[in-house]
Structure 1
């Protein structure tokens, strides 16, 4: 059984961020069943030499697995029942990848290039990071690698994925069973990509737009373009449904208005632009707030007091109980390359957690982030889930506690990161990695401790609010 994943992707070019870094982010969301996620380094000796997908049984030829894979970080599904699902990471050459964003399609392209069935084979979200990230040396390499794999092996699902290095951010979407398209995100722009086909304007004669070699011919031969001028891939290959209006578009609309209040529009608008510009430089905290959002200060906030019961259930929020892992992959330009890669990582529902900025030039990860499949309060994944489920019972009371916890934790992590950047500036090799791993452990310990403290505060505040109580003074 394939596990469900429905996510929200945020991409930011280097001239649109507060510190000149590139940032690609995604919340990895699942279905009704809890999917425990971990944090792992895959060292070259651990990279599969022969690969077979669990879901589709697709075997990857040895010729497509390089002899000398790079080390990379990942955020896998720790159960392994449906395969690796490495999700996101940064390799030893500071190239980042997040995969995948589940997207939409339409019957026109499916009638021409159908998605494979899992019985036929093909690749999916289970496979892409493992088969791509250890073999690429730039963001453009990532696009080329995935494009090659899609054309050779095909896919059984529609997905979007992103790549970045210190200079470029790219976003790729699969089209049908074997086709694909990608575009470079302008350095001064950002992107919000919910669960629909997102790329709109496409230029076939521009090097910042690339695709499978016959895509333009396919569009023309099968009369797929509904527009009088130009090529809009969302119109050609995507959807514009009632589900999009309630499930996908409102998420983009809300964050567009957060990044630029002049954006306006309506939550259900179908043609919100793919490439956008904020009214300020975007920070890590902005992305965390966006990935945690639930339509605050609108009638659609499940925790708010503005709307009716029906309005509160109208639109799917970004911050949701089904957030199991969220990351921001940051490649910094204001520090040496050896410490430039940072994987900001959070487990559990984003409305009740915090990011931790883990250095990625490492060979192991903090113990508390090595999640166990079963409930275990020594692991941050499970303690975050507990905090979220308790916090959800009375957001008016617990929300402020969480906000203080998040600010306190992010401040502590920023301080450790600043101190470490300075301390390790003259180190290299194993000495450097040892210091970075120690810094990661310290940040993990601080956040774990702060989360336990948050739980204690919730218990204190909630004691008198329980329904099951009786007092002679009541």
Structure 2
């Protein structure tokens, strides 16, 4: 999912990661191996393995330490992919206090990027997303679009323009022998039954929730349905969004429709027809907020939501810290000393009797996220007071006083979340045990 204006004027970027550590946009390919020959260096036929380009796990370390803006991130990653190539397709969102850019690898050494309009959101499932593309801007001023330097040549050589131009602004203008405007999704993406089952339904549902006024989602014969593959890449929401709104959306299982596995509408087949947004195997969901009106040292907030969305909460953490609370660690062994494992236990216990546990889980989520907002407000105020007294510099990301106060706020909030998570686990465990099949009382005979 892309980013949007927060109701407090923030930029919000969200992303899922499943329990295998994979982001949805990445499509893993089988690992490359050397040909079937001796792989030992001492053997006469040994040939060293040749690296196969950039992959998802490389992206943070080869970009973030070297950039100071979203635009710089697009340029740097594009340069590296043009030089080294990639062995998989990926989509990456770069954001700062002024801009949000979405970058897509479209194969090998080629890429495109588009700036997200300030009043729009982007819902991006496991599929190439950018549709409308301005080739003249991408190869020229780069105000809203960017691309690899030889994109036009590559498109021509491989006959990739497959869409029928229908843009009103397309009056026949060309760039390097190609139409200035074209549909990049049609040119570079897939249109398969797997997209219709796994990818399109999630975009349909979230866009319908965020822009219910759009007539294309309404009526007895809507233009866009669960399997529609051409829903616009960026859309304008009916209202501004909060981190809490985004958290609820990323936890949804098509609530209120015949596709909800916990609902009563439809049939057993329809309730398991499409891939859910709040899926069971989610490892963590990150809602990254950049608050342009906050001082630099307080600007970044990471709402961290580990484990499956319908059963967890999001913890509001200041990002400008050196250490995070130990409760947020995820050891390999199951333990109640980890927020991730506690939420996995809650999910496993609650899933068979979803509605019996729903009230407790919803109350837990509302309380802990409200405390997150409170923590941000009180900590901001405390640090602004210290700054007014000359005891802290809020424009210095490395100010030790600021960092210590942010770490203290994070720890205090996580301590409260840990207490409430422990109580929630006890509640759902009690609800589950009273319905066990081996229960028996004296008056049962």
Settle same-fold status: TM greater than 0.5: yes
Q: Which string of whole-angstrom CA distances, capped at 9 and with x for unpartnered residues, describes residues 242-289 of structure 1?
A: 011110000000000110113402100010110101100111111101
Q: Which string of whole-angstrom CA distances, capped at 9 and with x for unpartnered residues, describes residues 211-246 of structure 1?
A: 101112211232211123231111001011101111
**Which of 423, 429, 436 is 2:382 aligned to?**
423
**Which of 7, 10, 14 is 2:2 aligned to?**
10
Q: Residues 248-263 of structure 1 correspond to what in structure 2 (within 5 A)?
A: 248-263=199-214
Q: Is the 8 A contact 1:170 1:183 kept in 2?
A: yes
Q: Is the 8 A contact 1:118 1:156 kept in 2?
A: no
Q: Which string of whole-angstrom CA distances, capped at 9 and with x for unpartnered residues, describes residues 32-52 of structure 1?
A: xxx4xxxxxxxxxxxxxxxxx
- Structure ranking higher on relative contact order (CA contacts 8 Å, 6+ apart): 1
- TM-score scaled to structure 2, two decimals? 0.84
Distance in 1 between residues matched to 2:411 and 2:210, nearest whole Å: 33
**Which of 100, 111, 114 is 1:183 aligned to?**
114
**Which of 228, 234, 250 is 2:164 aligned to?**
228
Distance in 2 between residues matched to 1:456 and 1:298, nearest whole Å: 31
Give 2:9's aligned residue. Answer: 20
**Which of 403, 411, 414 is 1:444 aligned to?**
414
Distance 1:274 1:138, change over 3 A: same
Give 1:384's aligned residue. Answer: 343
Report how far residue 371 of structure 1 moved: 2.1
The number of residues matched between the two structures is 389
Q: Is the 8 A contact 2:312 2:343 kept in 1?
A: yes
Q: Residues 147-158 of structure 1 correspond to what in structure 2 (within 5 A)?
A: 147-158=78-89
2:167 is the alignment partner of 1:243: no
Distance 1:228 1:462, change over 3 A: closer
Q: Is the 8 A contact 1:103 1:197 kept in 2?
A: no
Distance in 1 between residues matched to 2:188 and 2:273, nearest whole Å: 26
- TM-score scaled to structure 1, two decimals? 0.79
Distance 1:467 1:115, change over 3 A: closer
Distance 1:10 1:290, change over 3 A: farther
2:75 is the alignment partner of 1:165: no
Give 1:64's aligned residue. Answer: none
Report how far residue 115 of structure 1 moved: 11
Q: Which string of whole-angstrom CA distances, capped at 9 and with x for unpartnered residues, describes residues 112-133 of structure 1?
A: xx99957642111111011111
Q: Which string of whole-angstrom CA distances, capped at 9 and with x for unpartnered residues, describes residues 179-210 of structure 1?
A: 11110000010000000111111101222100
Deviating above 3 A after TM superposition, structure 1's stretches of 4 or more consecutive aligned residues are: 114-120
2:70 is the alignment partner of 1:134: no
Q: Is the 8 A contact 1:117 1:156 kept in 2?
A: no
**Which of 314, 319, 328 is 1:360 aligned to?**
319
Distance in 2 between residues matched to 1:366 and 1:431, nearest whole Å: 18
2:388 is the alignment partner of 1:457: no
Distance 1:115 1:304, change over 3 A: closer
2:149 is the alignment partner of 1:213: yes
Q: Is the 8 A contact 2:11 2:289 kept in 1?
A: yes
2:364 is the alignment partner of 1:433: no
**Which of 288, 301, 311 is 1:342 aligned to?**
301
**Which of 306, 326, 334 is 2:285 aligned to?**
326
Q: Which string of whole-angstrom CA distances, capped at 9 and with x for unpartnered residues, describes residues 23-75 of structure 1?
A: 11011124xxxx4xxxxxxxxxxxxxxxxxxxxxxxxxxxxxxxxxxxxxxxx
Distance 1:215 1:393, change over 3 A: same
Distance in 2 between residues matched to 1:239 and 1:419, nearest whole Å: 48
Q: Which string of whole-angstrom CA distances, capped at 9 and with x for unpartnered residues, describes residues 326-358 of structure 1?
A: 101111022211100111111100111111111
- Higher mean alpha-carbon deviation, 222-231 vs 137-146, is at 222-231
**Which of 77, 97, 100 is 1:146 aligned to?**
77
2:241 is the alignment partner of 1:282: yes
Name the SS for the 1:202 alignment partner. Answer: strand
- Higher mean alpha-carbon deviation, 455-464 vs 134-143, is at 455-464
Give 1:101's aligned residue. Answer: 25
Q: Is the 8 A contact 1:103 1:196 kept in 2?
A: no
Give 2:437's aligned residue. Answer: 467
Report how far residue 432 of structure 1 moved: 0.7
Q: Is the 8 A contact 1:100 1:161 kept in 2?
A: no
Structure 2, unaligned runs of 5 or more:
35-50, 166-180, 218-223, 394-398
Distance in 2 between residues matched to 1:118 and 1:326, nearest whole Å: 32
Q: Is the 8 A contact 1:116 1:122 kept in 2?
A: no
